[in-house]
Amino acid sequence: MTDSVADHTEHRLHGRRRFLAGAATLAGAGLFLPTALASTTPTRAARAAAGTPQWRPTVHFTPAENWMNDPNGLVFHEGEYHLFFQHNPYSTEHANLSWGHAVSTDLVRWDELDVALEPDELGEIYSGSAVVDHRNTSGFFDGVEPGLVAFYTSAGETQQQSIAYSRDRGRTWTKFDGNPVIANPGIEDFRDPKVIWDEPSGQWVLLLAVDDHIAFYRSPNLRDWDLVSEFGAGRGAHGGVWECPDLFELPVAGTEESRWVLIVSINPGGPAGGSATQYFLGDFDGTTFVPHDEPDTVLWAELGADFYAAQSWSDIPASDGRRLWIGWLSNWDYTKQVPTEPWRGAMTVPREVGLVDTDEGPRLTQRPVQELESARGPVRRWSGTVSDEGSVVEYSGAALDVVADFTVDSAAMFGIDVFVGERSRTRVGYDVRAGELFVDRTGAGSADPGSGYRARHAAPLDTEDGVLRLRLLIDRSTVEVFAADGRVVLTDLVLRDGGDILRPFAEDGRVQLNSLEVYPIEA
């Protein structure tokens, strides 16, 4: 959560919104208008469908209206995935921040609910996390089923940490009358609490972003917290303020080892400019995080421009076994100028994260969750030779799930052009000589929020014996590219000029397209 605190006003948002298939509809809006106005004032449903629907994604969550940034409070509870998020319920401007709220049973189709947490006398509601208090350590759930406890930053004159709890599956919330539970010790940037359960000690651990490092706290009851360690001095990237920490343990695929993964977002200082998400690998004993990599090692979750503030879901059942997360699909360099209406901001698709062993040591992988395949329509397939001479196959669609398998031949560059129109094109390609995968949105369209938006973003990538396999999710205004079994990922916001053609390409030679599968996204 960045930027200055704005004056908050007393408002209340009523209603329940449904996000599905690229449009948002409202049910039970709870608005009572004079008869003379009822026939002339657009409903929220109508406003949600107006504005710039050509950029409203299909399976990437967006609020029906107004501003959104960081994912917050990700928790699985009683069959529902909860997605809270930084939200201004009243404007597309970044101010009056609250926690918006959406739920899903399948990670694809989301119901947007009432605003969960609104500003109060302690300030706006900045980023944080949520957990299920299975053991009632907090004492909030005596005589009732385990409930949810949310941790957030109260951003008023200072940034302090507060909690709220829910006994009805997150539909209503009560703020703790003892807030703040962690007072500000005199530090300007002191925010974004992430809470996890430490099973060996039977206590809770809270991570907090404090200026340029992470502070670790412990508590037996979610109310009383003690500072126990700090991490970050001389480690990782420090081009900007540290934000939105996360911590979880993952097995290293193909080995008997595991690593703790510490997530830290940073703004500015990202590899594509502006904001980005870095990670550290090491050990955690419930008190202290000890990194394995050398002090000057910087590991980025990805090298695209639009993946920030990534957070993972807590309380995923052990029978599932996955670590799932989601990120904000934007960049602080230009997000305030993104011309979408009546909303501003989107999430990535949910992803499964893992670790794989490499020559440099374990490294992070990300793959779209398998549930997204339920949004696929009938497949269209093609295979053949693609060259810079002659015609090539084309497919139409602004929301497509694409799987491609290439074998390198004589072409110096090859890949897939998406969002192709008369005067626009976004190129997802592989540069053979440079050995890098890239997304080039410099010719994406006439819309330009500025501050580095028009750019080409690339990541080093070696083919596997000359074979390159790609998964592309293109969704009206988003491009997510996954390669090397998820080790290389690029995410970019793309404000297309109405183009909806997809076609393979090759430059300075030819490439063999062994298989191309194109699925329309029909969530």
pLDDT at 16 over 70: no
What ranges do the domains of the chain cover?
A: 16-368, 378-520
- Quote the CA–CA distance of 289 and 222 in Å, as a whole number: 20
Contact yes or no for 130/146 (Cβ under 8 A): no
Task: Kindly state the percentage of the chain with pLDDT values over 90.
Answer: 88
Mean pLDDT for 257-265 is 98
Q: What is the pLDDT of residues 281-327, one digit of tens each?
A: 999 999 999 999 999 999 999 999 999 999 999 999 999 999 999 99
Q: Give, in order, the Cα–Cα distances in Å from 396 to each of 13, 380, 382, 432, 522.
A: 39, 11, 14, 27, 14
pLDDT at 206 over 50: yes
- Which stretches does DSSP call E strand in 441-483? 456-460, 467-475, 478-483
Tokens of 370: 């398998």
Mean pLDDT for 153-170 is 98
**Strand pairing category for 289-291 and 124-132:** unpaired
pLDDT at 26 over 90: no
Q: What is the pLDDT of residues 316-338, one digit of tens each?
A: 999 999 999 999 999 999 999 99
On the CB side of 416, CA atoms within 13 Å amount to 32
Residues in CB range of 418: below 8 A, 6 or more apart: 400, 425, 426, 427, 428, 472, 474, 479, 494, 502
Amino acid identity, position 335: T
- Quote the CA–CA distance of 128 and 163 in Å, as a whole number: 10
Residues in CB range of 21: below 8 A, 6 or more apart: 58, 522, 523
Instruction: Classify each residue of 281-308 as buried b or exposed e, where b means 16 or more C-beta atoms within 10 Å of its C-beta.
Output: bbebeeeebebebeeeebbbbbbbbbbb
pLDDT value of residue 344: 98
Give the per-residue SS3 of 86-117: EEECCCCCCCCCEEEEEEECCCCCEEECCCCE
Q: What is the pLDDT of residues 465-510, one digit of tens each?
A: 999 999 999 999 999 999 999 999 999 999 999 899 999 999 999 9
Q: What is the pLDDT of residues 44-56, one digit of tens each?
A: 677 777 899 999 9
- Quote the CA–CA distance of 461 and 211 in Å, as a whole number: 33
Max Cα–Cα distance, the chain, nearest Å: 73
Q: How many CB atoms lie within 10 A of CB 510?
A: 17
- Quote the CA–CA distance of 306 and 493 in Å, as a whole number: 6
Stated as kind and residue range, the H or E segment containing 492 is: strand 488-493
- Quote the CA–CA distance of 237 and 234 in Å, as a whole number: 9
- Quote the CA–CA distance of 50 and 495 in Å, as a whole number: 17
pLDDT value of residue 44: 62
pLDDT at 365 over 80: yes
Q: Choosing from 3, 70, 189, 500, which is the catalytic residue?
A: 70
- Quote the CA–CA distance of 349 and 59 in Å, as a whole number: 7
Closest C-alpha among 246, 433, 385 to residue 324:
246
Mean pLDDT for 429-455 is 96
Tokens of 88: 């201004």
Phi and psi at 82, nearest 5°, equal -95, 135
- Quote the CA–CA distance of 27 and 305 in Å, as a whole number: 35
- Quote the CA–CA distance of 26 and 62 in Å, as a whole number: 14
Q: Model confidence at 523, in pLDDT bands (50, 70, 90)? A: confident
pLDDT value of residue 49: 78
Closest C-alpha among 142, 133, 143 to residue 163:
133
Q: What is the pLDDT of residues 374-421, one digit of tens each?
A: 999 999 999 999 999 877 899 999 999 999 999 999 999 999 999 999
Residues in CB range of 440: below 8 A, 6 or more apart: 426, 427, 428, 429, 456, 457
The reply to whether 246 belongs to the active site is no
Q: Do domains 16-368 and 378-520 have the same CATH topology?
A: no
Tokens of 10: 């007393």
pLDDT at 32 over 80: no
- Quote the CA–CA distance of 96 and 463 in Å, as a whole number: 47
pLDDT at 3 over 90: no
Return the CATH fold of 378-520.
Jelly Rolls (2.60.120)
- Which stretches does DSSP call E strand in 8-139? 16-20, 23-27, 66-77, 80-88, 98-104, 110-112, 124-132
Residues in CB range of 379: below 8 A, 6 or more apart: 517, 518, 519
Mean pLDDT for 138-162 is 97
Mean pLDDT for 90-119 is 97
Contact yes or no for 286/205 (Cβ under 8 A): yes
pLDDT value of residue 133: 98
Count of residues making up the chain: 523
Sign of the four-CA dihedral 265, 266, 268, 269: negative
More confident residue, 465 or 30: 465
Q: Model confidence at 40, in pLDDT bands (50, 70, 90)? A: low
What does DSSP assign to residue 123? B
On the CB side of 125, CA atoms within 13 Å amount to 30
Beta bridge partners of 182: 161
pLDDT value of residue 343: 98
Q: How many CB atoms lie within 10 A of CB 90?
A: 15
pLDDT at 15 over 60: no
Give 291-303 as a DSSP string. E-S-TT--EES-S
Domain 16-368, CATH: 2.115.10.20
Contact yes or no for 334/449 (Cβ under 8 A): yes
- Looking at every residue in the chain, the average pLDDT score rounds to 92
pLDDT value of residue 24: 33
3-state SS, residue 166? strand
